[in-house]
Structure 1
Amino acid sequence: MSLQKQRDLARIAAVGSVVALIALCLAWELVLAPLRTGGSTLALKALPLLLPLRGLIHGRRYTYQWTSMFILLWWAEGLMRVWSDAGLSRWLAGGEVVLATICFVAVSYYAKWTRPSVLAAEAK
């Protein structure tokens, strides 16, 4: 597989996992297993995920770099709720951990594959 195809796949995985994570967070806290009946303000945790979305879609390397650290907040929150919650909420937290892990791996590889040294070697 060519390096360009690998970068495209990493970008699709990163954008897809962030969009899926936004949808999961909203569905989880508003409908599926909210902390309070009728929805929870914890659904607002999905809003910061909108910050990197434009840069991820446009393939901006700097956005991929800081998103690799940013996404760890959702990974840690999901891991804590896997450990502390029960029932459906535990499964949803597991999904959050999986999506955050996919995002972390995808943005890390995209940032690696778009290094100036890699791009220069590819141009030769």
Structure 2
Amino acid sequence: MTFNSTFFRRLTLSSYLLLIIWLVVWHFVLTIDKPTSTVFTLLFWIVPILLPAKGLIQGKPYTHAWTNFIVMYYLLHGLTAVYAVAGERLYALVEIILCCLLFTGCSFYARIRGRELGLGIRKLKDELLEEKQAFESLKPKNQK
């Protein structure tokens, strides 16, 4: 792994762990008078962020890429809470910052490490050229 992929992997793992800790602290310690049950809070706020844990720990670029979809759930929650819940604006701001760091780390790690492993998406012009060559090899020689 290059320096860049190592840096973004560390950024991803640290912000991921901090986001999990922050969600637990926010929803179970700081917000004591919540209207929802503990089971609902666990299922709705904690379980989704735990889904990519194995792939992130193993350093799989594909898992880093799709983790961003889950991060958007928390980013939207933070943005909504900043706007709508006056008493939790600071908490939501911390969530937004951690989500932005996690999104950045995941995106760049998936891109850089994917290229290192040769997992990148091929360019369309290369695909079309290969398809054209395959098609032309099937045509009879007397036909133009």
Alignment TM-score, normalising by the size of structure 1: 0.82
Q: Give, in angstroms, the shift of residue 75 of structure 1.
A: 0.4
1:25 paired to 2:20: no
2: CA distance between counterparts of 1:51 and 1:72? 14
Gaps of 5+ in 2: 119-144
Is the CA contact (8 Å cut-off) linking 1:15 and 1:53 kept in structure 2? Answer: no
2: CA distance between counterparts of 1:9 and 1:62? 17
- SS of 2:86's equivalent in the other structure is coil
Q: Which residue of 2 aligns with 1:86?
A: 86
2: CA distance between counterparts of 1:43 and 1:35? 16
Q: Give, in angstroms, the shift of residue 54 of structure 1.
A: 1.6
Is the CA contact (8 Å cut-off) linking 1:14 and 1:102 kept in structure 2? Answer: yes
Is the CA contact (8 Å cut-off) linking 2:64 and 2:106 kept in structure 1? Answer: yes
Q: Which residue of 1 aligns with 2:109?
A: 110
Q: Give, in angstroms, the shift of residue 35 of structure 1.
A: 4.6
Q: Give, in angstroms, the shift of residue 34 of structure 1.
A: 3.8
- SS of 1:110's equivalent in the other structure is helix
Q: Give, in angstroms, the shift of residue 112 of structure 1.
A: 1.0
Q: Percent identity?
A: 30
Number of equivalenced pairs: 116
Which entry has the higher C-alpha Rg, 1 or 2? 2
